[in-house]
Structure formats: C-alpha cells, structure tokens
Structure 1
Amino acid sequence: MRRLSIARSLQLALLGLTVALTAIAALGVGALYQSRQDYEDRLAEGLQLQASAGRLLAAGVVEEATLRLRRGPDGLTERRRARAAYRAANREALALAQGDAARRSPPRPPASSSCACARPRRPRRWPPASRWPGSAAVRRSGSRTPATRRRARHAGP
C-alpha cells in the first residue's frame, strides 16, 4: 500500500475543511432565516393586535352612540347588535393579547424578601421650605452659583 503524498494529503484536508465550513455556513444561514421568520411572525401578531384594538375602539364608539341615540323599545335590536359587536371585538383583542402578555410579563420578584428589589421604597422627603432656592435663608447663606452672584452684582442695590 502506497502512502499519500503531502500535496495529496493537503488537498484532502482542504476539501474536508471546505465541506465542514460549508455545512456550518448552511446551518448559520438557516438559523438566520428562522430568526427573521420569528421576528416577522411577532411583528404580524403585534400589527394584528393593533388593528384589533382599533376595531375595539370603533365598536365602543358605535355602542356608546347607539345607547345614546336609540332609546326605548324601538332601538332594542340596534343596542343588542352594538353590544354583541363590542363583545366580539373585545374577545378578539383579548385572545390576541394573551400571547403578547405572556411574552412581556415582568419577571416576578423572588419569594424571599432578602432581595433589595423586594424591599418597599421609602417616600421621598422634600427639603424644608427654608432650603428651597430663592428662600431668604439660602440668600443669606451665600450659597449662590457664580452666575447668580454676577447677576446680583450687576443688578445693583
């Protein structure tokens, strides 16, 4: 059995490397197309939800106008139809928003209160009125900015 020459071994190694890199590139391009498709699907779902919200708003306006204008027994069917249209639009919007809410729900804080984010925040305390800029105490203390001091000098007594 003859041994392969160095040139032949190098050619086979480069061919194998080319095949391996081609396979990796094909997998990368496939993953790129899949992520783009996922993005477009999520974008389409968001647009559907936005359109559904518009239909819900329109159905609410129609129902309100119907309730105001169609009173008495004569407008009963119109009121029922408007109410049914609003409820259908509401169901559609809620169904579309279910998947969106699961994706965008904020993470829950840990069960133990040892985390700093779980502690309640103290209300902010405002400084006393004597420390507000422009108060007599601040003017007397001389804690002015240089620009304020220049303006006071040029303003005169």
Structure 2
Amino acid sequence: MEKIKKGICLVSVLTLLIACAGCGSGKNAQNTVSMYDLRTAMEAADPDLPEMLNASSTEKDAEDNFSHISDMEYKKVDSYFVSYSSDGHKADEIVVIAVKDKADVDEAKESLTKHQQDRYNLLQSYEPKQVSRIQDGLIFTEGQYAVLIITNHNDDVRKAFEDAIKK
C-alpha cells in the first residue's frame, strides 16, 4: 500500500510539472546564460536520454514548480530549469539553479543534495535498478550556479554545462 501511495504521489508531481512544462530563452537580470540554451546544450550531451520534460523560471507557476526540486527561498533564485524523464520509472534528471547572490550558491547546492536523496528514497521503493544511477549523480557549483546531473553520461553533460557558461 505504501508503494502505491508513493507511486501516486510521484505521478501527481510529474503531472503538475507536465502541465506547467515549457522553456524560455533570453538573458536574465544577472546576465547568466539563457536557461533554454543551457538546457538544450546539456541534454544534447547525452545521446541516451529518454524523452525529457521541462519546467523553468519562465513559467507562470515557476515558484510553485521550484518547490518540487528545492526548499530554498525562491526570492534568492535568479533563474532555474529542471529537465526530467517523462517516464517516472527512470532517474534521468538535470537541474540548474542560478542564484541572485553567489553567497547563496552553497544553500542551493545543499537543496539539490536533499532533492537527490528524496529521489533516492522514492525510487528505492519501486525502481531499485535506478537507485545506483541517482547515487552516481553529480552535484556541483560553478559561480552562481548549482547543478544536479543524473544521466548515463554525467561527465559529458557537465562539460556541456561548463562550455555553455563560458560563452
């Protein structure tokens, strides 16, 4: 029964994100790179990604959607995107948070670590084969960015991120 409840919860969250999914482009106030361009480059770096859904800071319900990936105060966030597998049974996910103040980047990283653990706990109950992929995920910071990568090609996706923010 517990597994069914967790599965229903995951489906509900994914349904909400699907309903609000989308992407935007353009520079933001901090002159960070376009989250759309960043997402596109990072996704392209892993040819094995399943069909991915997206949510970002350009959405109408951006703050509400953000609360599904981070417990950080949204007022500290300059922009973000989350890209996740449309198949709720796969762990693939890429999250980038750009904070307004670089002093908050460690807090953003900690929130992604918590999100990774929450994903681990959830998938452990019904998709144990995906758990090792979550454990192998990368979490790091670069400048004002905190990043979570859970893919088959984490290093390639990280390199795509680093190349994109250098431009």
Normalised by the size of structure 1, how large is the TM-score? 0.25
Which of these two proteins has the greater Rg computed from alpha carbons?
1
> Which protein has greater RCO, CA pairs closer than 8 Å, 6+ apart?
2
